[in-house]
Amino acid sequence: MNPKTMGQYKDREGLRQQQHRGCKMAIHFREALKTKDFIVTAEAGPVKGANTEKMQEHIELLKDRVDALNVTDNQSSVMRYPSLGTCLLVKEHGGEPIFQVTCRDRNRLAIQADLLFAYSRGINNVLCLTGDSIDVGDHREAKPVFDLDSVQLIHLVHTLNSGKDMAGNELDGGVDFCIGASATPSADPLEPQLVKFQKKLDAGVDFIQTQAIYDLEELKRFMEHARKMDGRVKILAGIVLLVGAKMAAFMNEKVPGIFVPQHLIDELAQAPKGKGLSKGIEIAGRLIRQIREEKICDGVHIMAIGREERVPEILEAAGLEGRET
Amino acid sequence: MSREDNKIVAFCCQHSAYQVANKAGRMRLHYPDNVRIIRVPCAGRVDVQHILKAFEKGVVGVLVMGCQEGACQHLTGNTRAKKRVKYTEDLLKEVGIDGGRVKMVNLAPDMAQRFVGEIKEMAEKIEGR
Amino acid sequence: MIIAERKPLEEIKNMLAGYKKILVVGCGTCTTICWAGGEKEVGVLSSQLKLASSGEGNELSIVEATVERQCEKEMVIEELRDKVEEVEAILSMGCGVGAQTIAEIFEEKPVFPAVNTTFMGMPEKEGAWVEMCGACGDCFLDRMGGICPVVRCAKGLLNGPCGGTRKGGKCEIDPEKECAWVLIYQRLEKQDRLDLMRKYYEPKNYGAVQRPGRVEAATA
């Protein structure tokens, strides 16, 4: 706990009780990282529009089943309801949000301002990302910002945590974020990514969520490198739900950082018609189960993009249904 | 436009097409008489501007005739010519002149019938306009 | 050098609508070298414009000229002073700097750009040019193995690569383009200076050059 921020909430627990009256409360993600054997996070993807109904349904469905819920930030450079807004909804429903911040759409002023706002509303976890390029999204004529990169963003959050802004000014009301970052275990070539990964670890992160992983041998190799670099940081393997062979092949081609091996595309292709999604859930469950049984890493981050309502089935297939959050 | 006004220009490489033109003449092969043969040291000597200027002056079809692929005396003259002809075709399309009115032809020195055939084909093309 | 590309003819024609006599000016330096707006390209464009306009029954009258460097006032004045009188408008085939220089000198004549100025770069091979420098005003090539991530990395990262690198070290944005950070890694590895890539680089000073920029030599 940052001594600077303790004075802000005389009774922190009391404030949270007030905010979430009547709802089951999630423990802070930071505590979950320390105490849980196997950490599970998932994503609530914002919609394209001002109608928050569906997002609230997903939040209700998932908030008690996972240790924290990421909210994406104009994912794949497609304009959507902002991460900050959905994080507030997660809080309102008694869940534990992870605020995803990318460097694509905002400069250092806007990012710092958003972080101050987030913290003031009880959002304590931030995932620091560079962001997909504008070209993969739906507003291709927009000007990309990239004033910062992900490593600089991690440093920025530490600066805010220390009670100052990037320009060295004292903050009136500090923050204390739990900081996360991403990694790409299946990158080819891997060495440049490891250099970058080391910089993120050196900057100081509490947790890592990797890009989608499908090859557990690859994950194991990555974890060997990671453990040599930093034995303590919690690493969650990214699991993206595949819904069919076509989607898997499409993601391979079009989605940055995701590589689906041919044998899985084949397995999906062989599923009977209409059963592609079930097969995808089975595959996801299988991967998670194996990661947990072999203790390959510290947990998983489940991304069921556009299919948030199927996450409970994935958890069930993984043998995680009924775990306490 | 009457036939006499239509003009075709054939840039002929001296190592191949120009010799063919002479042969066709000696063989008394007939081809349209509104064709102007221009001898060049290599098809690669023909530039985009030469072709465009020809059209500016009222020429309605241009043939660039050089050696067969792989046989250019200057090694890459005919390949450069081919690229330039393609580029000029696009430039002409931009100004509404299309329909194959500039063409690259590769000839061996003994292809008299082919030479005549290409000219007749171009003449027919422009006649239809 | 500055790389440019000629605009589509349709766009140029639209700019010239209503004008009957124009000056088409090339530049003997950058746009000559990148085949966009040199003397030759002036000739080609003028031919096209004449063919297009006569096809529409209203042939454009064109004066052609080429200035050795359109960004030098003295050269522009010397070459164009007499030619400008007789025309209604000027179509510049120089880069944006050249076009604006001409516009500044001959203020009463409308000046139109016939090329799109794209970047500062060099020839990768004959007829193909690639972007190399973004004029950020704060060069740190010494630490990047001589490869600029500000423009050659699509996201301009100082601590790269991003997680979107494609297999084989290609860029997220274009599978034909190399990931600049993979190139930087390989270059520094060759020189045994990977420690430079392992360093943390602070956020860039985008205020290094106040825009619009101005530089004055000490001995001016």
CATH code, domain carrying B58: 3.40.50.960
Closest by CA to A314, choosing from A306, A302, A298, is A302
pLDDT for A18 beyond 50: no
Tell whether B49 is covered by a domain: yes
For residue A9, the model assigns a pLDDT of 42
- Domain count for chain A: 1
Interface membership of B83 toward C (CB under 8 Å) = no
B95 to chain C: which residues are within 8 Å by CB?
9, 48, 51-52, 55
- Domain count for chain B: 1
Tell whether B115 is covered by a domain: yes
Minimum Cα–Cα distance from A148: chain C residue: C203
Interface membership of A155 toward C (CB under 8 Å) = yes
* Chain C interface test: which of B46, B57, B60, B95 (most C C-beta within 10 Å): B95
Interface membership of A152 toward C (CB under 8 Å) = yes
| Partners of A125 in the β-ladder | A98, A178
Neighbours of chain B (3+ CB pairs under 8 A): C
For residue B31, the model assigns a pLDDT of 86
Strands (DSSP E) contained in B1-129 are 8-13, 35-40, 61-67, 102-107
Q: A217-262: per-residue pLDDT in tens?
A: 999 999 999 999 988 899 999 999 999 999 899 888 877 777 888 8
Look at B49 and C47 and tell me if their CB atoms are within 8 Å.
Answer: yes
Chains B, C: CB pairs < 8 Å: 35
Interface membership of B52 toward C (CB under 8 Å) = yes
For residue A4, the model assigns a pLDDT of 45
C161 to chain A: which residues are within 8 Å by CB?
187, 192-193, 196
Of A150, A192, A211, the CB nearest to C185: A192
Question: What average pLDDT does the segment A36-50 reach?
Answer: 95
Tell whether B73 is covered by a domain: yes
Tell whether A320 is covered by a domain: no
Residues in chain A: 325
CA triple C11-C14-C16, angle to 5 deg: 115
Pair C117, C96: CB distance under 8 Å: yes
Look at C55 and B56 and tell me if their CB atoms are within 8 Å.
Answer: no
Please give the single-letter amino acid code of residue A106. Answer: R
> What range defines the domain where residue B75 resides?
8-127
Tell whether B27 is covered by a domain: yes
> What range defines the domain where residue A7 resides?
3-243+296-315
Tell whether A46 is covered by a domain: yes
Tell whether B102 is covered by a domain: yes
Tell whether A263 is covered by a domain: no
Residue A213 is part of a domain; what is its CATH number?
Answer: 3.20.20.220
Q: A141-200: per-residue pLDDT in tens?
A: 999 999 999 999 999 999 999 999 999 999 999 999 999 999 999 888 999 999 999 999
pLDDT per residue, tens digit, chain C (220 aa), is: 999 999 999 999 999 999 999 999 999 999 999 999 999 999 999 999 999 998 788 889 999 999 999 999 999 999 999 999 999 999 999 999 999 999 999 999 999 999 999 999 999 999 999 999 999 999 999 999 999 999 999 999 999 899 999 888 999 988 899 999 999 999 999 999 999 999 999 999 999 999 999 999 999 8
Tell whether A266 is covered by a domain: no
Task: Please give the domain boundaries of chain C with CATH numbers for all domains.
Answer: 2-118 (3.40.50.2300), 134-198 (no CATH)
Look at C48 and B91 and tell me if their CB atoms are within 8 Å.
Answer: yes
Tokens for B121, please give them.
């084909």
ipTM, two decimals, is 0.90
* Chain B interface test: which of C44, C45, C50, C54 (most B C-beta within 10 Å): C44
pLDDT for A21 beyond 70: no
Question: What average pLDDT does the segment B96-124 reach?
Answer: 92
Look at A196 and C154 and tell me if their CB atoms are within 8 Å.
Answer: no
Do strands C21-27 and A207-212 pair parallel, antiparallel, or not at all (unpaired)? unpaired
Tell whether B2 is covered by a domain: no
Place of tokens 């109904």: A53
Rounded to an integer, what distance in angstroms lies between the CA atom of residue C140 and that of residue C89?
43
Closest by CA to A97, choosing from A129, A54, A62, is A62
Tell whether B109 is covered by a domain: yes
The angle, 0 to 180 degrees and rounded to 10, between the axes of the packed helices C39-55 and B48-56 is 30
Tell whether A221 is covered by a domain: yes
Question: What average pLDDT does the segment A122-126 reach?
Answer: 97
Tell whether B3 is covered by a domain: no
Tell whether A322 is covered by a domain: no
Neighbours of chain A (3+ CB pairs under 8 A): C
Do strands C115-125 and C61-67 pair parallel, antiparallel, or not at all (unpaired)? unpaired
Pair C62, C49: CB distance under 8 Å: yes
From chain C, which residues contact B within 8 Å (Cβ)?
Answer: 8-10, 40, 43-44, 47-48, 50-52, 55
* Chain B interface test: which of C47, C48, C66 (most B C-beta within 10 Å): C47
For residue A1, the model assigns a pLDDT of 46
